Structure 1
Protein backbone atom coordinates (compact mmCIF):
# COMPACT_ATOMS: atom_id res chain seq x y z
CA UNK A 1 0.00 0.00 0.00
CA UNK A 2 1.25 3.46 -0.87
CA UNK A 3 1.87 5.59 2.21
CA UNK A 4 -0.17 8.77 1.86
CA UNK A 5 0.56 11.49 4.35
CA UNK A 6 1.59 15.12 3.96
CA UNK A 7 5.03 14.35 5.37
CA UNK A 8 5.74 11.32 3.17
CA UNK A 9 4.59 13.08 0.00
CA UNK A 10 6.55 16.24 0.86
CA UNK A 11 9.76 14.31 1.55
CA UNK A 12 9.32 12.31 -1.65
CA UNK A 13 9.08 15.60 -3.54
CA UNK A 14 12.23 16.86 -1.83
CA UNK A 15 14.12 13.71 -2.85
CA UNK A 16 12.89 14.01 -6.45
CA UNK A 17 14.07 17.63 -6.68
CA UNK A 18 17.49 17.34 -5.03
CA UNK A 19 19.36 15.92 -8.08
CA UNK A 20 18.20 18.88 -10.20
CA UNK A 21 19.89 21.31 -7.81
CA UNK A 22 23.20 20.24 -9.37
CA UNK A 23 22.22 22.42 -12.32
CA UNK A 24 20.20 25.00 -10.41
CA UNK A 25 22.96 26.08 -8.02
CA UNK A 26 25.47 27.12 -10.74
CA UNK A 27 22.59 28.83 -12.58
CA UNK A 28 21.80 30.86 -9.45
CA UNK A 29 25.45 31.76 -9.01
CA UNK A 30 25.56 33.03 -12.59
CA UNK A 31 22.51 35.20 -12.08
CA UNK A 32 23.96 36.68 -8.90
CA UNK A 33 27.15 37.61 -10.73
CA UNK A 34 25.30 38.87 -13.81
CA UNK A 35 22.94 41.04 -11.78
CA UNK A 36 25.80 42.87 -10.10
CA UNK A 37 27.70 43.17 -13.38
CA UNK A 38 24.87 45.08 -15.07
CA UNK A 39 24.43 47.45 -12.15
CA UNK A 40 21.51 45.99 -10.22
CA UNK A 41 21.91 46.67 -6.47
CA UNK A 42 22.84 43.58 -4.49
CA UNK A 43 19.60 43.67 -2.46
CA UNK A 44 17.55 43.92 -5.67
CA UNK A 45 19.37 40.93 -7.20
CA UNK A 46 18.42 38.80 -4.21
CA UNK A 47 14.87 40.20 -4.06
CA UNK A 48 14.26 39.49 -7.75
CA UNK A 49 14.89 35.81 -7.14
CA UNK A 50 11.84 35.81 -4.89
CA UNK A 51 9.63 38.15 -6.92
CA UNK A 52 10.34 36.80 -10.42
CA UNK A 53 11.52 33.31 -9.43
CA UNK A 54 12.38 32.12 -12.91
CA UNK A 55 15.95 31.56 -14.02
CA UNK A 56 15.69 32.40 -17.71
CA UNK A 57 13.34 35.33 -17.14
CA UNK A 58 15.66 36.73 -14.46
CA UNK A 59 18.61 36.56 -16.85
CA UNK A 60 16.54 38.40 -19.47
CA UNK A 61 15.54 40.95 -16.82
CA UNK A 62 19.18 41.57 -15.93
CA UNK A 63 20.20 41.96 -19.57
CA UNK A 64 17.41 44.44 -20.22
CA UNK A 65 18.29 46.36 -17.05
CA UNK A 66 21.88 46.62 -18.22
CA UNK A 67 20.72 47.94 -21.58
CA UNK A 68 18.55 50.62 -19.88
CA UNK A 69 15.44 49.20 -21.53
CA UNK A 70 12.20 51.07 -20.69
CA UNK A 71 10.27 49.46 -17.85
CA UNK A 72 7.13 48.59 -19.91
CA UNK A 73 9.28 46.73 -22.47
CA UNK A 74 11.14 44.92 -19.71
CA UNK A 75 7.94 43.82 -18.00
CA UNK A 76 6.39 42.66 -21.27
CA UNK A 77 9.49 40.72 -22.30
CA UNK A 78 9.83 38.96 -18.97
CA UNK A 79 6.13 38.11 -19.18
CA UNK A 80 6.56 36.54 -22.61
CA UNK A 81 9.50 34.46 -21.41
CA UNK A 82 7.37 33.20 -18.53
CA UNK A 83 4.44 32.19 -20.73
CA UNK A 84 5.67 28.62 -20.55
CA UNK A 85 4.40 28.55 -16.96
CA UNK A 86 0.86 28.67 -18.35
CA UNK A 87 1.58 25.33 -19.99
CA UNK A 88 2.78 23.91 -16.68
CA UNK A 89 -0.39 25.17 -14.98
CA UNK A 90 -2.58 23.60 -17.65
CA UNK A 91 -0.76 20.29 -17.26
CA UNK A 92 -1.30 20.08 -13.48
CA UNK A 93 -4.70 21.79 -13.23
CA UNK A 94 -6.78 18.62 -13.32
CA UNK A 95 -4.81 17.11 -10.44
CA UNK A 96 -5.12 20.18 -8.21
CA UNK A 97 -8.65 21.30 -9.08
CA UNK A 98 -10.15 20.31 -5.73
CA UNK A 99 -7.67 22.30 -3.65
CA UNK A 100 -8.69 25.56 -1.95
CA UNK A 101 -7.45 28.81 -3.43
CA UNK A 102 -4.72 29.33 -0.82
CA UNK A 103 -3.11 26.09 -1.96
CA UNK A 104 -3.50 26.90 -5.64
CA UNK A 105 -1.85 30.30 -5.19
CA UNK A 106 1.08 28.82 -3.27
CA UNK A 107 1.66 25.99 -5.73
CA UNK A 108 1.30 28.36 -8.71
CA UNK A 109 4.10 30.48 -7.29
CA UNK A 110 6.34 27.43 -6.84
CA UNK A 111 5.48 25.87 -10.22
CA UNK A 112 8.63 26.59 -12.21
CA UNK A 113 10.64 24.49 -14.66
CA UNK A 114 12.49 22.12 -12.35
CA UNK A 115 9.62 21.76 -9.86
CA UNK A 116 7.24 20.83 -12.67
CA UNK A 117 9.66 18.37 -14.26
CA UNK A 118 10.19 16.57 -10.95
CA UNK A 119 6.49 16.48 -10.00
CA UNK A 120 4.50 15.87 -13.18
CA UNK A 121 5.18 12.13 -13.38
CA UNK A 122 3.98 11.67 -9.79
CA UNK A 123 0.84 13.72 -10.43
CA UNK A 124 0.05 12.19 -13.79
CA UNK A 125 1.00 8.56 -13.32
CA UNK A 126 1.03 8.07 -9.54
CA UNK A 127 -1.91 7.11 -7.32
CA UNK A 128 -4.61 9.76 -6.91
CA UNK A 129 -4.14 10.10 -3.15
CA UNK A 130 -5.58 13.02 -1.14
CA UNK A 131 -2.17 14.45 -0.23
CA UNK A 132 -0.34 14.18 -3.54
CA UNK A 133 -0.15 17.97 -3.85
CA UNK A 134 2.40 17.87 -1.02
CA UNK A 135 4.74 16.20 -3.50
CA UNK A 136 4.64 19.33 -5.67
CA UNK A 137 5.06 21.43 -2.54
CA UNK A 138 8.21 19.44 -1.75
CA UNK A 139 9.72 19.89 -5.20
CA UNK A 140 8.83 23.58 -5.32
CA UNK A 141 10.05 24.40 -1.81
CA UNK A 142 13.34 22.59 -2.42
CA UNK A 143 13.88 24.43 -5.68
CA UNK A 144 12.95 27.79 -4.14
CA UNK A 145 15.40 27.31 -1.28
CA UNK A 146 18.23 26.22 -3.54
CA UNK A 147 17.60 29.11 -5.93
CA UNK A 148 17.53 31.77 -3.22
CA UNK A 149 20.68 30.49 -1.53
CA UNK A 150 22.62 30.14 -4.79
CA UNK A 151 21.63 33.65 -5.89
CA UNK A 152 22.76 35.01 -2.53
CA UNK A 153 26.03 33.10 -2.88
CA UNK A 154 26.53 34.59 -6.34
CA UNK A 155 26.08 38.08 -4.91
CA UNK A 156 28.44 37.46 -2.00
CA UNK A 157 31.26 35.49 -3.61
CA UNK A 158 30.57 35.64 -7.32
CA UNK A 159 33.58 37.77 -8.20
CA UNK A 160 35.86 35.17 -6.64
CA UNK A 161 34.65 32.41 -9.02
CA UNK A 162 37.31 31.81 -11.73
CA UNK A 163 36.03 32.39 -15.29
CA UNK A 164 37.62 29.06 -16.27
CA UNK A 165 34.86 27.27 -14.40
CA UNK A 166 32.44 28.16 -17.23
CA UNK A 167 29.40 28.01 -14.99
CA UNK A 168 27.24 29.44 -17.77
CA UNK A 169 27.28 26.03 -19.42
CA UNK A 170 25.21 24.74 -16.51
CA UNK A 171 22.21 26.64 -17.89
CA UNK A 172 22.11 24.45 -20.99
CA UNK A 173 22.72 21.31 -18.91
CA UNK A 174 19.84 22.20 -16.60
CA UNK A 175 17.34 22.46 -19.43
CA UNK A 176 18.65 19.28 -21.07
CA UNK A 177 18.05 17.47 -17.78
CA UNK A 178 14.53 18.91 -17.63
CA UNK A 179 13.82 17.67 -21.13
CA UNK A 180 14.98 14.15 -20.30
CA UNK A 181 12.84 14.07 -17.16
CA UNK A 182 9.79 15.32 -19.05
CA UNK A 183 9.76 12.69 -21.80
CA UNK A 184 7.61 9.79 -20.61
CA UNK A 185 5.42 9.07 -23.64
CA UNK A 186 5.80 8.87 -27.39
CA UNK A 187 3.96 12.15 -27.81
CA UNK A 188 6.46 13.83 -25.47
CA UNK A 189 9.35 12.60 -27.59
CA UNK A 190 7.70 13.73 -30.82
CA UNK A 191 7.02 17.16 -29.34
CA UNK A 192 10.68 17.52 -28.34
CA UNK A 193 11.91 16.44 -31.78
CA UNK A 194 9.51 18.78 -33.58
CA UNK A 195 10.49 21.76 -31.42
CA UNK A 196 14.18 21.00 -31.91
CA UNK A 197 13.72 20.82 -35.66
CA UNK A 198 11.82 24.12 -35.76
CA UNK A 199 14.02 26.20 -33.48
CA UNK A 200 17.02 26.61 -35.82
CA UNK A 201 15.17 28.10 -38.80
CA UNK A 202 12.98 30.10 -36.42
CA UNK A 203 16.00 31.90 -34.94
CA UNK A 204 15.78 34.46 -37.75
CA UNK A 205 12.68 35.92 -36.08
CA UNK A 206 13.29 39.09 -34.03
CA UNK A 207 12.99 39.53 -30.26
CA UNK A 208 13.60 35.82 -29.52
CA UNK A 209 10.21 34.99 -31.02
CA UNK A 210 11.79 31.96 -32.64
CA UNK A 211 11.76 30.20 -29.28
CA UNK A 212 8.02 30.78 -28.92
CA UNK A 213 7.44 29.64 -32.50
CA UNK A 214 9.39 26.43 -31.89
CA UNK A 215 7.46 25.85 -28.68
CA UNK A 216 4.19 26.24 -30.56
CA UNK A 217 5.32 23.69 -33.15
CA UNK A 218 6.28 21.26 -30.40
CA UNK A 219 2.96 21.70 -28.60
CA UNK A 220 0.96 21.19 -31.79
CA UNK A 221 2.92 18.05 -32.64
CA UNK A 222 2.59 16.69 -29.11
CA UNK A 223 -1.16 17.26 -29.06
CA UNK A 224 -1.54 15.52 -32.42
CA UNK A 225 0.61 12.53 -31.43
CA UNK A 226 -1.05 12.19 -28.01
CA UNK A 227 -3.95 10.38 -29.66
CA UNK A 228 -1.57 7.49 -30.40
CA UNK A 229 -0.17 7.16 -26.86
CA UNK A 230 -0.81 3.73 -25.46
CA UNK A 231 -1.82 2.26 -28.80
CA UNK A 232 0.15 -0.69 -30.24
CA UNK A 233 2.65 0.25 -32.91
Structure 2
Protein backbone atom coordinates (compact mmCIF):
# COMPACT_ATOMS: atom_id res chain seq x y z
CA UNK A 1 0.00 0.00 0.00
CA UNK A 2 1.78 3.13 -1.18
CA UNK A 3 1.69 6.41 0.70
CA UNK A 4 0.37 8.42 -2.28
CA UNK A 5 -2.65 6.08 -2.53
CA UNK A 6 -3.32 6.39 1.18
CA UNK A 7 -3.02 10.16 1.05
CA UNK A 8 -5.20 10.45 -2.05
CA UNK A 9 -7.93 8.32 -0.49
CA UNK A 10 -7.72 10.28 2.76
CA UNK A 11 -8.07 13.59 0.89
CA UNK A 12 -10.94 12.25 -1.19
CA UNK A 13 -12.84 11.23 1.95
CA UNK A 14 -12.33 14.66 3.50
CA UNK A 15 -13.33 16.38 0.25
CA UNK A 16 -16.52 14.38 -0.20
CA UNK A 17 -17.57 15.22 3.36
CA UNK A 18 -17.43 19.00 2.85
CA UNK A 19 -21.21 19.38 2.25
CA UNK A 20 -21.82 17.63 5.57
CA UNK A 21 -19.35 19.95 7.32
CA UNK A 22 -21.36 22.97 6.23
CA UNK A 23 -24.54 21.51 7.71
CA UNK A 24 -22.88 20.48 10.98
CA UNK A 25 -21.14 23.84 11.56
CA UNK A 26 -24.17 25.76 12.93
CA UNK A 27 -25.10 22.70 15.01
CA UNK A 28 -21.69 22.69 16.69
CA UNK A 29 -21.85 26.45 17.20
CA UNK A 30 -25.25 26.19 18.88
CA UNK A 31 -24.04 23.37 21.12
CA UNK A 32 -21.19 25.56 22.30
CA UNK A 33 -23.55 28.40 23.15
CA UNK A 34 -25.97 25.99 24.84
CA UNK A 35 -23.32 25.00 27.38
CA UNK A 36 -23.38 28.57 28.72
CA UNK A 37 -27.01 28.03 29.79
CA UNK A 38 -26.21 24.90 31.83
CA UNK A 39 -24.35 24.36 35.11
CA UNK A 40 -21.43 22.95 33.14
CA UNK A 41 -18.19 24.85 32.70
CA UNK A 42 -17.06 25.67 29.14
CA UNK A 43 -14.29 23.08 29.29
CA UNK A 44 -16.92 20.44 30.07
CA UNK A 45 -18.57 21.21 26.74
CA UNK A 46 -15.32 20.94 24.81
CA UNK A 47 -14.39 17.74 26.62
CA UNK A 48 -17.77 16.28 25.73
CA UNK A 49 -17.17 17.05 22.05
CA UNK A 50 -13.69 15.52 22.23
CA UNK A 51 -14.65 12.30 24.02
CA UNK A 52 -18.33 11.74 23.17
CA UNK A 53 -18.45 13.22 19.66
CA UNK A 54 -22.17 12.63 19.13
CA UNK A 55 -24.13 15.78 18.39
CA UNK A 56 -27.65 14.58 19.22
CA UNK A 57 -26.56 12.90 22.43
CA UNK A 58 -24.55 15.94 23.48
CA UNK A 59 -27.56 18.21 23.05
CA UNK A 60 -29.81 15.85 24.97
CA UNK A 61 -27.23 15.36 27.73
CA UNK A 62 -26.73 19.13 28.09
CA UNK A 63 -30.48 19.67 28.35
CA UNK A 64 -30.84 16.93 30.96
CA UNK A 65 -27.94 18.33 32.99
CA UNK A 66 -29.56 21.77 32.90
CA UNK A 67 -32.79 20.28 34.26
CA UNK A 68 -30.99 18.50 37.09
CA UNK A 69 -31.58 14.97 35.80
CA UNK A 70 -29.67 12.14 37.47
CA UNK A 71 -26.58 10.71 35.82
CA UNK A 72 -28.10 7.25 35.36
CA UNK A 73 -31.00 8.70 33.34
CA UNK A 74 -28.57 10.74 31.23
CA UNK A 75 -26.48 7.66 30.46
CA UNK A 76 -29.53 5.57 29.60
CA UNK A 77 -31.04 8.28 27.40
CA UNK A 78 -27.89 8.94 25.40
CA UNK A 79 -27.29 5.20 25.04
CA UNK A 80 -30.73 4.70 23.49
CA UNK A 81 -30.32 7.68 21.17
CA UNK A 82 -27.01 6.27 19.92
CA UNK A 83 -28.39 2.79 19.26
CA UNK A 84 -28.83 3.79 15.62
CA UNK A 85 -25.07 3.38 15.31
CA UNK A 86 -25.59 -0.36 15.62
CA UNK A 87 -27.32 -0.26 12.24
CA UNK A 88 -24.51 1.84 10.80
CA UNK A 89 -21.92 -0.60 12.12
CA UNK A 90 -23.80 -3.63 10.77
CA UNK A 91 -23.95 -1.99 7.35
CA UNK A 92 -20.25 -1.09 7.21
CA UNK A 93 -18.81 -4.16 8.96
CA UNK A 94 -18.39 -6.26 5.79
CA UNK A 95 -16.10 -3.53 4.42
CA UNK A 96 -13.90 -3.16 7.52
CA UNK A 97 -13.99 -6.68 8.96
CA UNK A 98 -10.49 -7.41 7.63
CA UNK A 99 -8.90 -4.43 9.38
CA UNK A 100 -6.88 -4.74 12.61
CA UNK A 101 -8.77 -4.01 15.82
CA UNK A 102 -7.06 -0.62 16.26
CA UNK A 103 -8.50 0.52 12.92
CA UNK A 104 -12.01 -0.74 13.71
CA UNK A 105 -12.00 0.88 17.15
CA UNK A 106 -10.80 4.20 15.77
CA UNK A 107 -13.30 4.27 12.92
CA UNK A 108 -16.07 3.11 15.25
CA UNK A 109 -15.41 5.97 17.65
CA UNK A 110 -15.29 8.55 14.84
CA UNK A 111 -18.37 7.26 13.00
CA UNK A 112 -21.21 9.77 12.74
CA UNK A 113 -24.43 10.06 10.76
CA UNK A 114 -22.69 12.23 8.20
CA UNK A 115 -19.64 10.01 7.77
CA UNK A 116 -21.87 6.97 7.50
CA UNK A 117 -23.80 8.60 4.64
CA UNK A 118 -20.53 9.37 2.84
CA UNK A 119 -19.10 5.89 3.44
CA UNK A 120 -22.29 4.07 2.52
CA UNK A 121 -22.30 5.83 -0.83
CA UNK A 122 -18.58 5.21 -1.36
CA UNK A 123 -18.69 1.50 -0.58
CA UNK A 124 -21.80 1.08 -2.72
CA UNK A 125 -19.89 2.54 -5.69
CA UNK A 126 -16.49 0.99 -4.85
CA UNK A 127 -17.16 -2.20 -2.84
CA UNK A 128 -13.64 -3.54 -3.29
CA UNK A 129 -11.67 -0.35 -2.65
CA UNK A 130 -8.38 -1.46 -0.99
CA UNK A 131 -7.90 2.05 0.41
CA UNK A 132 -11.49 2.44 1.59
CA UNK A 133 -10.45 2.67 5.24
CA UNK A 134 -8.21 5.64 4.43
CA UNK A 135 -11.14 7.30 2.66
CA UNK A 136 -13.23 6.46 5.75
CA UNK A 137 -10.61 8.00 8.03
CA UNK A 138 -10.44 11.17 5.93
CA UNK A 139 -14.19 11.61 6.17
CA UNK A 140 -14.22 10.99 9.92
CA UNK A 141 -11.24 13.22 10.74
CA UNK A 142 -12.73 16.11 8.77
CA UNK A 143 -16.03 15.77 10.68
CA UNK A 144 -14.23 15.44 14.03
CA UNK A 145 -12.06 18.52 13.42
CA UNK A 146 -15.05 20.50 12.19
CA UNK A 147 -17.09 19.65 15.28
CA UNK A 148 -14.27 20.59 17.66
CA UNK A 149 -13.72 23.92 15.92
CA UNK A 150 -17.36 25.00 15.96
CA UNK A 151 -17.90 23.79 19.51
CA UNK A 152 -14.95 25.92 20.63
CA UNK A 153 -16.23 28.91 18.69
CA UNK A 154 -19.66 28.50 20.28
CA UNK A 155 -18.12 28.32 23.74
CA UNK A 156 -16.11 31.48 23.10
CA UNK A 157 -19.04 33.50 21.76
CA UNK A 158 -21.73 31.91 23.94
CA UNK A 159 -21.40 34.52 26.67
CA UNK A 160 -21.16 37.43 24.23
CA UNK A 161 -24.17 36.34 22.14
CA UNK A 162 -26.46 34.43 24.53
CA UNK A 163 -29.37 34.44 22.07
CA UNK A 164 -27.39 32.96 19.20
CA UNK A 165 -29.25 29.65 19.47
CA UNK A 166 -32.57 31.41 18.79
CA UNK A 167 -31.57 32.57 15.29
CA UNK A 168 -32.74 29.38 13.60
CA UNK A 169 -29.26 28.15 12.68
CA UNK A 170 -30.25 24.65 13.72
CA UNK A 171 -32.27 24.28 10.50
CA UNK A 172 -28.99 23.66 8.69
CA UNK A 173 -28.65 20.39 10.59
CA UNK A 174 -32.24 19.44 9.79
CA UNK A 175 -31.48 19.96 6.10
CA UNK A 176 -28.33 17.87 6.46
CA UNK A 177 -30.23 14.97 8.01
CA UNK A 178 -32.81 15.15 5.23
CA UNK A 179 -29.97 14.89 2.72
CA UNK A 180 -28.59 11.88 4.63
CA UNK A 181 -31.87 10.01 5.02
CA UNK A 182 -33.71 10.51 1.74
CA UNK A 183 -31.17 8.69 -0.50
CA UNK A 184 -31.30 5.70 1.88
CA UNK A 185 -35.08 5.32 1.62
CA UNK A 186 -34.68 3.33 -1.58
CA UNK A 187 -33.81 0.33 0.63
CA UNK A 188 -36.69 -1.37 2.39
CA UNK A 189 -35.23 -1.63 5.95
CA UNK A 190 -34.44 2.10 5.91
CA UNK A 191 -37.84 2.99 4.53
CA UNK A 192 -39.68 0.92 7.13
CA UNK A 193 -37.48 2.22 9.96
CA UNK A 194 -38.04 5.84 8.88
CA UNK A 195 -41.81 5.47 8.58
CA UNK A 196 -42.15 3.69 11.92
CA UNK A 197 -39.85 6.12 13.74
CA UNK A 198 -41.56 9.16 12.22
CA UNK A 199 -45.02 7.90 13.10
CA UNK A 200 -44.01 7.11 16.68
CA UNK A 201 -42.24 10.44 17.15
CA UNK A 202 -45.32 12.32 15.97
CA UNK A 203 -47.85 10.20 17.83
CA UNK A 204 -45.91 10.25 21.13
CA UNK A 205 -44.67 13.84 20.96
CA UNK A 206 -46.62 14.77 24.10
CA UNK A 207 -44.78 12.40 26.43
CA UNK A 208 -42.53 14.04 29.06
CA UNK A 209 -38.72 13.85 29.13
CA UNK A 210 -38.70 13.29 25.35
CA UNK A 211 -39.75 9.70 25.93
CA UNK A 212 -41.68 9.80 22.67
CA UNK A 213 -38.48 10.47 20.77
CA UNK A 214 -36.65 7.67 22.56
CA UNK A 215 -39.52 5.29 21.88
CA UNK A 216 -39.46 6.30 18.22
CA UNK A 217 -35.72 5.56 18.02
CA UNK A 218 -36.19 2.08 19.51
CA UNK A 219 -39.24 1.33 17.36
CA UNK A 220 -37.47 2.47 14.18
CA UNK A 221 -34.37 0.38 14.90
CA UNK A 222 -36.46 -2.67 15.78
CA UNK A 223 -38.58 -2.34 12.64
CA UNK A 224 -35.56 -1.89 10.38
CA UNK A 225 -33.72 -4.85 11.92
CA UNK A 226 -36.84 -7.02 11.69
CA UNK A 227 -37.28 -6.31 7.99
CA UNK A 228 -33.57 -6.86 7.35
CA UNK A 229 -33.71 -10.33 8.91
CA UNK A 230 -36.94 -11.50 7.32
CA UNK A 231 -36.54 -14.42 4.89
CA UNK A 232 -35.75 -13.24 1.38
CA UNK A 233 -33.93 -10.25 -0.06
CA UNK A 234 -35.41 -7.31 1.90
CA UNK A 235 -32.47 -4.93 1.71
CA UNK A 236 -32.65 -4.59 -2.07
CA UNK A 237 -33.63 -1.19 -3.51
CA UNK A 238 -37.33 -0.36 -3.38
CA UNK A 239 -38.68 -0.56 -6.92
CA UNK A 240 -35.07 -1.18 -8.02
CA UNK A 241 -34.11 -2.49 -11.40
CA UNK A 242 -32.29 -5.74 -12.02
CA UNK A 243 -29.09 -3.71 -12.44
CA UNK A 244 -29.64 -2.08 -9.04
CA UNK A 245 -30.16 -5.43 -7.40
CA UNK A 246 -27.06 -6.83 -9.02
CA UNK A 247 -25.09 -3.81 -7.83
CA UNK A 248 -26.31 -4.31 -4.27
CA UNK A 249 -25.36 -7.96 -4.36
CA UNK A 250 -21.71 -7.19 -5.20
Length-normalised TM-score, structure 1: 0.87
What pairs up with 1:136-175 in 2 under 5 angstroms? Answer: 136-161=136-161, 163=164, 165-175=167-177
Shift in Å at residue 20 of structure 1? 0.8
CA distance in 1, matches of 2:182, 2:150: 24
Contact 1:33/1:159 (CA < 8 Å) preserved in 2?
Answer: yes
Contact 2:23/2:176 (CA < 8 Å) preserved in 1?
Answer: yes
- Does residue 226 (structure 1) correspond to residue 235 (structure 2)? The answer is yes
Contact 1:11/1:138 (CA < 8 Å) preserved in 2?
Answer: yes
Shift in Å at residue 40 of structure 1? 1.0
DSSP 3-state at the match of 1:5: helix
Aligned residue for 2:39? Answer: 39
- Does residue 105 (structure 1) correspond to residue 111 (structure 2)? The answer is no
Deviations 1:36-75 (A, max 9, x none): 2112101110010011100000001101111111111211
DSSP 3-state at the match of 1:226: coil
Aligned residue for 2:217? Answer: 211
DSSP 3-state at the match of 2:69: coil
- Does residue 69 (structure 1) correspond to residue 69 (structure 2)? The answer is yes
CA distance in 2, matches of 1:112, 1:179: 13
Shift in Å at residue 9 of structure 1? 1.2
Q: Mark the runs of 5 or more structure 2 residues left unpaired by the alignment.
A: 243-250
Q: Which moved further from structure 2: 43-52 or 222-231?
A: 222-231
Specify whether residues 210 and 196 from structure 1 end up closer, same or farther in structure 2 by C-alpha distance, changes over 3 A only.
Answer: closer
CA distance in 2, matches of 1:105, 1:186: 27
Contact 2:196/2:219 (CA < 8 Å) preserved in 1?
Answer: no
CA distance in 1, matches of 2:200, 2:55: 23
Number of residue equivalences:
229
DSSP 3-state at the match of 2:131: coil
Shift in Å at residue 173 of structure 1? 2.0
Contact 1:57/1:82 (CA < 8 Å) preserved in 2?
Answer: yes
Specify whether residues 195 and 222 from structure 1 end up closer, same or farther in structure 2 by C-alpha distance, changes over 3 A only.
Answer: farther
Shift in Å at residue 176 of structure 1? 1.4
CA distance in 1, matches of 2:179, 2:76: 28
Contact 1:32/1:152 (CA < 8 Å) preserved in 2?
Answer: yes
Shift in Å at residue 160 of structure 1? 4.0
Length-normalised TM-score, structure 2: 0.81
Aligned residue for 1:201? Answer: 203
Shift in Å at residue 8 of structure 1? 1.6
Specify whether residues 20 and 226 from structure 1 end up closer, same or farther in structure 2 by C-alpha distance, changes over 3 A only.
Answer: same
Deviations 1:107-143 (A, max 9, x none): 0111111111111111233141221111110110000
**Once superposed, what is the RMSD of the aligned Cα atoms?**
2.5
Contact 1:193/1:218 (CA < 8 Å) preserved in 2?
Answer: no
